Chains A and B, each alone.
Chain A
Amino acid sequence: MTYPPSTAMGPTTDMGQVSRLITAEGERVSDPALEGWVADVDNALLADLYRDMVRTRRLDAEGVALQRQGQLGLWAPCQGQEAVQVGTARALRESDFVFPSYRESGVQLVRGATPTQLIQVWRGEEQSMGDPFARGTAGPQIIIGAQTLHAVGYAMGIQRTPAAEGARCDEVAVTYFGDGASSQGDVSEAMVFAASYGAPVVFVCSNNQWAISEPVTVQSRTPLADRAPAFGIPSMRVDGNDVLACYGAMRWALERARSGAGPAYIEAVTYRMGPHTTADDPTRYRDAAEVEVWRARDPLARVQTLLQARGALGDALAADIAADADRLAAEVRAVCLGYRTRDPLSVFDEVYAEPHSGLERQRRAYAAYLDGFEEEAR
């Protein structure tokens, strides 16, 4: 059998071939693949999803502002990607485990990260967000794609965990990664392992069209969702700016994994509205017109329109959501400005779990060196 060459895609992915439940205009439409997974979503839950998206956007704006004011070393904005982050993360159970990339602030927020945890990494105070087991969520991963293997290994661990009273252990591991990451060998290796062992893992690819300056067309000539089936993993391609579609797709994927049917893959087609990080200048490589096309597809606006049309977003609720987001931002700012850097000798802590004579020697030497300054000061 021969395969035809793929059809060329434009600079941004074709939006005609995605599953969607809320249009850019805020209209509720039907999708046969997703409908069953959102049948029980009422206005209250939709408003809750909207609330988390607003909080995520506010957090993101605060992160950018704090970086611009010199309070954070870096920030990786997620504006435009709130729907995929909130929609998928809200579908999880507390007992599921998430391995995200560095851009998933919304996922971290939904998974219970505190204001301190949300900024400490970007402020350069810590390399991670504290104990991952406390929130079932690993810290941000910088090495592109590496975390997908960790999720699969964790899922293999779930398979090897004896469940209470004979029931299957039905936790799921989830990993988030970008369109650029899809080119990494680790992501392909992760899919091989996941499929071969039928591991309970969900791959969430946030295709935000750009990997720093490289368009998705440099990573792939076919929709990314098409890759997974070649590994034996079913996939779904959804409108990543539609929180309801993301929520429904994630429920489909989680249910598959939970029931023992193995891994699933979601390509959420979305767009990064801001720079790659605060160190990036996107005007060097992308069109203002393209950004405007996506601004019209804003993930928050469409939920807001839908809720308003249903009379489910009154002034009081809207004000409460806005105040909630402002409170979060104020907390983030306060902990950021009040952060106290830990003791210098703590750089030697926790390199090893057990004593290491070489490192202990260095620690003693540096402690003595620092003590010298104190003596001088006396």
Chain B
Amino acid sequence: MTELTMGKALNAGLHRALADDPSVLVMGEDVGTLGGVFRITDGLLSAYGPSRVIDTPLAESGIVGTAVGLAFRGFRPVVEMQFDGFVYPAFDQIVCQVAKFHYRTRGAVRMPLTVRVPWAGGVGAAEHHSESPEAYFVHTSGLRVVAVSNPADAYVMLRQAIACDDPVIFFEPKRLYHAKGEVDLDVDLADAAPMGLARVVRTGRDATIVTYGAQVATALEAATAAEDDGLSLEVIDLRSLSPIDLDTVAASVRRTGRMVVTHEAAAEAGVGAEVIAAITERCFHHLEAAPVRVTGHDIPYPPAKLERHHLPDLDRILDAVDRVLDRPHSLSEVTP
């Protein structure tokens, strides 16, 4: 075990993937000499050379579109979108081309592409640098979507994403790039939890909090705080947003009977809506109360000085817990 920041864990994962498989390429804006604006690709250029670590023109559709051609040729491109808000110019290539080539050609063409997206808010960034676009990609069949929440997962799941024969949209919470954790650098992928599995990060009896990404830490804080109140909350890190591991969530909700889903992204037609709909279909008779979402507001991401009002914090989560537990001091009696 080695203690690493998530940024360093991702860097180690890329090093390992490049070393293990000569068909792996890293491409994106500033990923070479600079090592990426977050230094996630630091040192890769000197280790693997410019033919495998490619500084691209500033053209996101171009980056993903050429990666499609490289995948055609048998490569496994790992592309970096510099920030979440800049994945939109590549949206067409991702949803119309990357997601569909395997289907369209009935399996003849594989798209083992990994699109890394430094993701979401909480870092006081400028406009277009704190977006949570995951639902757009979850809604697109043919893509896999994952979101990491800690260095150990970051290291393993990035390698799994690169090894996967399907395209993976890989969300990395910027807020956690400097968060530290233990990483087993020698872990065998065959022994690691599959990329599509959720994880119960804290067990509890009274309600289940379902979340992913940086919000996992906030949910854990809420669970710790609730303990003082005599409440036992279970916290599930989805890890994968497509597919969603409904079995793990359903097993938890069957025990607790109550569920809160929280994410930074807006509520409307988001991942939380999907989780609640799917769990309600499966576990209706186990639910003691209507599940509740705690999300970013349905607004464009606000200016940095106001973002703390947008990001669901510990108190908003606990407020929702009060609601699903039907506790009297809930602040929000009224369904929004």
A303 within 8 Å of B (CB atoms): no
Q: How far is the CB of B113 from chain A (nearest CB, A)?
A: 10
Inter-subunit contact B104/A358 (CB<8 Å): no
What 0/1 readout, one digit per residue, does chain A (156-169) give for beta carbons within 8 Å of chain B?
A: 11111100000000
Q: How far is the CB of A174 from chain B (nearest CB, A)?
A: 12
Of the residues B61, B104, B166, contact of A353 by C-beta under 8 Å: B166
B323 within 8 Å of A (CB atoms): no
- Chain B interface residue count, CB cutoff 8 Å, equals 48
Given known contacts A143-B97, A146-B93, A189-B57, A152 and B106 CB-to-CB distance under 8 angstroms:
no
Inter-subunit contact A149/B66 (CB<8 Å): yes
Q: A354 to B97: give the CA distance in the assembly, Å.
A: 18
Q: A16 to B105: give the CA distance in the assembly, Å.
A: 42
Q: How far is the CB of B250 from chain A (nearest CB, A)?
A: 12
Residue of B nearest to A199 (CB): B66
Question: B4-12, B123-131, B240-248: which lies at the A interface?
Answer: B240-248
Which chain B residues border A97 with CB–CB below 8 Å? 72
Which chain B residues border A126 with CB–CB below 8 Å? 106
Residue of A nearest to B73 (CB): A157
Q: A156 to B141: give the CA distance in the assembly, Å.
A: 28
Inter-subunit contact A154/B108 (CB<8 Å): no
Which chain A residues border B89 with CB–CB below 8 Å? 185
Q: How far is the CB of A320 from chain B (nearest CB, A)?
A: 35
B59 within 8 Å of A (CB atoms): yes
Inter-subunit contact A153/B107 (CB<8 Å): no
Listed residue (A143, A349, A356) with the most chain B CB atoms within 10 angstroms of its CB: A356
Inter-subunit contact B75/A160 (CB<8 Å): yes
Inter-subunit contact A159/B51 (CB<8 Å): yes
Q: A155 to B72: give the CA distance in the assembly, Å.
A: 10
Inter-subunit contact B108/A133 (CB<8 Å): yes
Inter-subunit contact B66/A156 (CB<8 Å): yes
Q: Which of B85-111 contact A (CB under 8 A)?
A: 89, 92-93, 96-97, 100, 102-110
Inter-subunit contact B106/A153 (CB<8 Å): no
**SS class, residues of chain A in contact with chain B:** helix
A131 within 8 Å of B (CB atoms): yes
B165 within 8 Å of A (CB atoms): yes
Inter-subunit contact B107/A192 (CB<8 Å): no
Inter-subunit contact B144/A139 (CB<8 Å): no
Residue of A nearest to B75 (CB): A157
Q: How far is the CB of A327 from chain B (nearest CB, A)?
A: 28
Which chain B residues border A329 with CB–CB below 8 Å? none
Inter-subunit contact A131/B105 (CB<8 Å): yes
Which chain B residues border A132 with CB–CB below 8 Å? 72, 105, 108-109
Q: A126 to B164: give the CA distance in the assembly, Å.
A: 25
Of the residues B75, B93, B104, B196, contact of A128 by C-beta under 8 Å: B104
Which chain B residues border A69 with CB–CB below 8 Å? none
Of the residues B56, B103, B107, B242, contact of A358 by C-beta under 8 Å: B242
A173 within 8 Å of B (CB atoms): yes
Given known contacts A356-B144, A357-B196, A189 and B243 CB-to-CB distance under 8 angstroms:
no
Given known contacts A160-B75, A353-B165, A150 and B97 CB-to-CB distance under 8 angstroms:
yes
What 0/1 readout, one digit per residue, does chain B (54-89) give for beta carbons within 8 Å of chain A?
A: 001101011001111111111100000000000001
Q: How far is the CB of B295 from chain A (nearest CB, A)?
A: 21
Listed residue (A186, A351, A352) with the most chain B CB atoms within 10 angstroms of its CB: A352
Inter-subunit contact A149/B61 (CB<8 Å): yes
Residue of B nearest to A126 (CB): B106
Given known contacts A149-B61, A150-B68, A193 and B97 CB-to-CB distance under 8 angstroms:
no
Which chain A residues border B69 with CB–CB below 8 Å? 99, 149-157, 173
Residue of B nearest to A161 (CB): B73
Given known contacts A157-B73, A358-B243, A353 and B107 CB-to-CB distance under 8 angstroms:
yes
Inter-subunit contact A143/B107 (CB<8 Å): no
Q: A97 to B69: give the CA distance in the assembly, Å.
A: 10
Given known contacts A149-B93, A151-B69, A189 and B62 CB-to-CB distance under 8 angstroms:
yes
B142 within 8 Å of A (CB atoms): yes
Q: A229 to B65: give the CA distance in the assembly, Å.
A: 22
Q: Which of A230-256 contact B (CB under 8 A)?
A: none
Q: A353 to B57: give the CA distance in the assembly, Å.
A: 30
Which chain B residues border A138 with CB–CB below 8 Å? 72
Which chain A residues border B66 with CB–CB below 8 Å? 149-150, 152-153, 156, 190, 193
Which chain A residues border B73 with CB–CB below 8 Å? 153-154, 156-158, 160-161
Inter-subunit contact A149/B68 (CB<8 Å): yes
Given known contacts A139-B104, A146-B93, A351-B102, A153 and B68 CB-to-CB distance under 8 angstroms:
yes
Q: A158 to B52: give the CA distance in the assembly, Å.
A: 13
Q: A150 to B61: give the CA distance in the assembly, Å.
A: 11
Which chain A residues border B112 with CB–CB below 8 Å? 353
Q: A127 to B96: give the CA distance in the assembly, Å.
A: 12
Of the residues B51, B59, B108, B245, contact of A192 by C-beta under 8 Å: B59
A343 within 8 Å of B (CB atoms): no
Of the residues B92, B103, B142, contact of A143 by C-beta under 8 Å: B92
Residue of A nearest to B57 (CB): A192
- Starting from the known contacts A153-B72, A186-B62, 17 additional A-B residue pairs (CB-CB under 8 Å) come to A128-B104, A130-B106, A133-B108, A150-B68, A153-B71, A161-B73, A189-B57, A190-B66, A192-B57, A196-B57, A352-B142, A352-B166, A353-B102, A357-B243, A357-B245, A357-B247, A358-B244
Q: List 9 A-B contacts (CB under 8 A).
A: A99-B69, A130-B108, A131-B108, A154-B73, A158-B73, A173-B69, A189-B65, A350-B103, A353-B107
